[in-house]
Homo-oligomer: A and B are copies of this chain.
Amino acid sequence: MGLSQLVLVSPHSFPDPVATARAAGADDILANARVVGSLAEALEGTVFAAALTARRRELAVPMKWARDAAGDIVSRTSFGDVALVFGNETVGLSNEDVSLCHMPVKIPVSAEYSSLNLGAAVQVLCYELRMAALDPGEPPNLESELATFEQVEGFFSHLDRAITASGFFHPSNSKRLWPRLRRLFGRIQLEKDEINILRGMLTAFEKK
């Protein structure tokens, strides 16, 4: 998601072969992780910290949903390093941990399954930060040339001739048929190459 600094507070086992395997293509981030003895040490030098928490707590600062928090968190990065603080898989963060942070953040979950796996929670929050920080632009579709209005109309004229000649298109059903054909092909938003394919097919039918 574009984040590059990982700090581990008193990890159970580090480096650990299971963690390295799961890090897949991002094992450099794990290998460069800074290991510290306390959360306070981890937060040294940061200007803002958001704490992910699943539990309802009596807190000085109101909780925010991940989506609403993301913009605030990103805006703080112009002042310096910002920390996302996650508890461990089993017990999460202590109240003392949360009190060292500026913003408690929660991910909306189903009432029946109230807590996410740690990895899932990290992924969602980092994804929201990426979405808040970067406009992803257009999805990476291969470019294909859309047919122009004239090309589509040329195809419709060709189709008209072909189905009239074939006997499929009787003047009696023309009123019902054309709107349905236009609706069908209009939804597709035909490409130039596709028009050529369709007209090739029509030409083949006409010759037969």
Binding site for B on A (CB under 8 A): 1-2, 22, 24-26, 56-59, 62-65, 67, 106-110, 113-117, 119-120, 123-124, 127, 130-131, 134, 136, 139-142
CB distance from A26 to the nearest CB of B (A): 5
Contact of A22 among B26, B63, B115, B117 (CB under 8 A): B117
- On whether the beta carbons of B108 and A131 are closer than 8 Å, the reply is yes
A141 surroundings in chain B (CB, below 8 A): 56, 59, 62-63
Task: Across the interface, name the chain B residue whose C-beta is closest to A67.
Answer: B131
A134 to B110, CA, bound (A): 10
Task: Using A64-B139, A108-B131, A119-B120 as known contacts, list a sample of 19 further A-B pairs with CB atoms less than 8 Å apart, ordered by residue number in A.
Answer: A1-B109, A1-B110, A2-B110, A25-B114, A56-B140, A57-B142, A59-B141, A59-B142, A62-B139, A62-B141, A63-B140, A63-B141, A67-B131, A108-B130, A110-B130, A123-B123, A123-B124, A124-B127, A127-B127
A142 surroundings in chain B (CB, below 8 A): 56-59
Contact of A139 among B24, B58, B106 (CB under 8 A): B106
CB distance from A171 to the nearest CB of B (A): 34
Please judge, given known A-B contacts A22-B117, A25-B115, whether A108 and B124 are in contact too, CB under 8 Å: no
A127 to B206, CA, bound (A): 52
- On whether the beta carbons of A136 and B65 are closer than 8 Å, the reply is yes
Interface centre among A57, A119, A127, A134 (most CB of B within 10 A): A127
A64 to B139, CA, bound (A): 6
A63 to B130, CA, bound (A): 19
A139 surroundings in chain B (CB, below 8 A): 62-65, 106
Enumerate the 5 nearest inter-chain pairs by beta-carbon distance, A residue then B residue, closest first: A108-B136, A63-B139, A120-B123, A2-B110, A56-B140
A153 to B40, CA, bound (A): 36
CB distance from A132 to the nearest CB of B (A): 11
A130 surroundings in chain B (CB, below 8 A): 108-110
A119 surroundings in chain B (CB, below 8 A): 117, 119-120
